[in-house]
Chains A and B, each alone.
Chain A
Amino acid sequence: MKSKYLAEIKKSLEKYEIESEEILDILNDYDQLYDDGLSRGLSDESVIAFLGTPEKIVKELTEGIKHIEKPKKGSKLIALTPFISLVIYFILGFYFQVWHPGWLVFFLIPVTAIIVEMGHQKDKHITTALSPFFTVITYLIIGFTYNIWHPTWLIFLIIPVLAIVNSRNERTSLQIITALTPFIATITFFSFGFYLDLWNPIWLVFFIIPMVGVLNDSNKTKIIIYEFLFALSISIYLFLGYTYGLWGYALLAFLIPFVYGISKNDIQIDIFHEGKEEWIVFLLCLVVYVTLGIIFKTTWAYLWVIFFLVPVFAIVKHGPKKQLFVPISPFLATTIFFLLGYFFELWSISWIAFLIIPVAAILNNH
């Protein structure tokens, strides 16, 4: 017990700018104080209570002494990546004329930092943190090489999907499946819609969201009623649509579960409830993106930046009010970079926009 106590004091003291001889002296003193306590007939616990816990002791002893920020493993590598990226970028640009998409090499900076930091802490969300970079790289490569911007944008759905999968330890299997249903439905809808032109009735796939969602309810009767009503309304819709071609009127069939839900107070229309605004912004962006994409065809390639409004909105709403520009700067930089590159072919210099990020951070620190 004593050796553990002394080891903890030593470990905590080593985090401060204290000479090793002095630490040794302090430890000798506490060694002696501890023995004196025991010799008075005190138990180990009473001695520790009398002398103080290692945290308390170190707090008292280090008053006014500077805390040492020990360099973390891999921090040199993180510090070097901007230079490494710049060198690779210039080599790619000058020798191979690949200014674009050679700029993607700058993703090495955040990617390395995430791998080193989160890998060091064995953070299970490391793949979630890395996913935006890999999805952007994949998206742009497929987009520029094959000009298939749509439905390649669906790849961005990997980000929330990974976040849900990585939090599997905190959720039950059913909760995970429920959380994944919006993404499964969206991917299915756009994939079938785009390749088979089956927009209708494939949109019905979105019904898996409430149909799986209701399974989380503890009331079995309620589950059976809702599943039956969903199945009934879908059947009526398909019957009226395929038999009489009344697809428009057939939509009224969905009023059955909807009205039942409202009557039972299961559906509450409180769209301005906490956290709902982000969904509204997301849905608005989705509607704008898909609508303009279908109408103008070409907007698939660049209008995806509109989705940045979702995180920006969340940052403005929840982020630190005095430092708003810092978290927003990556989105702003990417937007400027991409739009200058896409519309004016300025890929070779538009990457400078990314300097907004460190500049914002530095200015904020001052």
Chain B
Amino acid sequence: MNSQFKKGVIEMCVINLISKQDMYGFEVIETLSKEIDVNENTIYPILRRLTNQGYFMTYMDTDSLKKIGAPRKYYKLTALGQTRNVEYENEWSKFLKGVFNILGGKTYEK
């Protein structure tokens, strides 16, 4: 798959994941890589870029201080991020519908 296309999909997934619940970095990478065949190395830079673009805000969770000995940085979707998430969902379902229209019904059995 084209790497730019894949990056776009990962970006969309990262936003969507965090829209469901606040997450810390490792959790995002772990969850995504379990579901999608993705190079884990590329996820943190995407997370960081999206934060810089204003889609996420971060906060330190002091509860984790007791669990792991240090506060954890959590990512939370901003209003801009929410808007982007809705846009992505619409674009993606439109895109999938188009792809399905083309590929749907065909069989590739020899």
Give the complex CA separation of A57 and B39 in angstroms. Answer: 11
Q: Is the contact region of chain B dominated by helix, strand, or loop, or is it mixed?
A: helix
Pair B68/A35 contact, Cβ less than 8 Å: yes
Does B48 sit at the interface, judged by CB under 8 A? yes
In-complex Cβ contact of B44 among A33, A35, A40, A63 (8 A): A33
Does A118 sit at the interface, judged by CB under 8 A? no
Pair B41/A57 contact, Cβ less than 8 Å: yes
Pair A50/B48 contact, Cβ less than 8 Å: no
Chain B residues near A29: list those with CB within 8 A: 25, 44, 48, 73
Does A52 sit at the interface, judged by CB under 8 A? yes
Chain A residues near B30: list those with CB within 8 A: 40
Does B84 sit at the interface, judged by CB under 8 A? no
In-complex Cβ contact of A60 among B29, B45, B68 (8 A): B45
Interface residues of B in 9-49 (CB under 8 A from A): 24-27, 29-30, 39-42, 44-45, 48
Pair B68/A39 contact, Cβ less than 8 Å: yes
Chain B residues near A56: list those with CB within 8 A: 41
Pair A32/B48 contact, Cβ less than 8 Å: no
Chain A residues near B68: list those with CB within 8 A: 35-36, 39
Does A61 sit at the interface, judged by CB under 8 A? yes
Does A37 sit at the interface, judged by CB under 8 A? yes
Give the complex CA separation of A256 and B41 in angstroms. Answer: 71
Chain A residues near B41: list those with CB within 8 A: 51-53, 56-57, 60
On chain A, the number of residues with a Cβ less than 8 Å from chain B's Cβ atoms is: 20
In-complex Cβ contact of A32 among B39, B45, B70 (8 A): B70
Give the complex CA separation of A33 and B68 in angstroms. Answer: 12
Give the complex CA separation of A28 and B40 in angstroms. Answer: 18
Pair B40/A32 contact, Cβ less than 8 Å: no
From residue B43, how far is it (CB to closest CB) to chain A in Å? 9
Pair B70/A51 contact, Cβ less than 8 Å: no
Interface residues of A in 277-320 (CB under 8 A from B): none
Pair A36/B45 contact, Cβ less than 8 Å: no
Chain A residues near B42: list those with CB within 8 A: 52, 60
Give the complex CA separation of A40 and B30 in angstroms. Answer: 11
In-complex Cβ contact of A37 among B26, B45, B48, B72 (8 A): B26
Per-residue CB contact flags for chain B residues 40-83 toward chain A (1 = under 8 Å, else 0) read 11101100100000000000000000001010110000000000
Pair A52/B40 contact, Cβ less than 8 Å: yes
Give the complex CA separation of A56 and B7 in angstroms. Answer: 15
From residue B69, how far is it (CB to closest CB) to chain A in Å? 8
From residue A238, how far is it (CB to closest CB) to chain B in Å? 76
Between A and B, 13 residue pairs with Cβ closer than 8 Å are A26-B48, A29-B73, A36-B24, A39-B68, A40-B26, A50-B29, A51-B40, A51-B41, A52-B39, A57-B41, A57-B44, A60-B41, A61-B48
